Amino acid sequence: MLLWVGLGNPEPGMARNRHNIGFMALDVIAARHRFSPWRSRFKGLIAEGDIGGEKILALKPMTYMNASGEAVQPAAAFYKLPPEAITTFHDELDLVPGKMRVKFDGGAAGHNGLRSMDRQLGSSDYWRVRLGIGHPGAKELVLPYVLGNFSKDDVAWLVPLLDAVADAAPLLAAGKAPDFMTRVALLTHPV
């Protein structure tokens, strides 16, 4: 079993925020791969499904971004999953909008959701699907930017990115991160 965690904030008014791209990614994956309906558990919403023969537990923490680990840790503990069985989908300021990278381990790079997971899990040895949202240009603009909604212009890259992540998800479930990244890149930027 794998635990896939989408990071975001639970307020309905924040649903279209850039910070919620992790929730958006899991929603598209769960719909595309016909996961069970979302239900409350582990201080979050969970849905279960199968992708490429691998059982996936999708989790959207309802604890707010800064306390995401408070939902992830009990889910991982309940299913006795090591950190390396966890993949988190999150917004990434350091990638241009529409770009995606997968990384194993590493620092939180100022991302409070990752920082909370590191603290609660006692480890940073998990996978990260970094979904590029771009940077507003100045440090003081970051908070209003990530808590701002995607613009109408963003839809041109956002929808294809989320669709590509869902379409390529079997490669991620199979542990083929480089192939997953290549497939997403080809789907979002066809030659």
Q: Return the active site residues.
A: 19
Task: Provide CB contacts within 8 A for 9, sequence distance 6+.
Answer: 17, 19, 20, 64, 65
Tokens of 102: 């997968």
Q: Is 61 left (phi over 0), alpha (psi -120 to 50) or beta?
A: beta
Identify whether the C-beta of residue 88 lies closer than 8 Å to the C-beta of residue 129: yes
Distance CA 19, CA 9 (A): 7
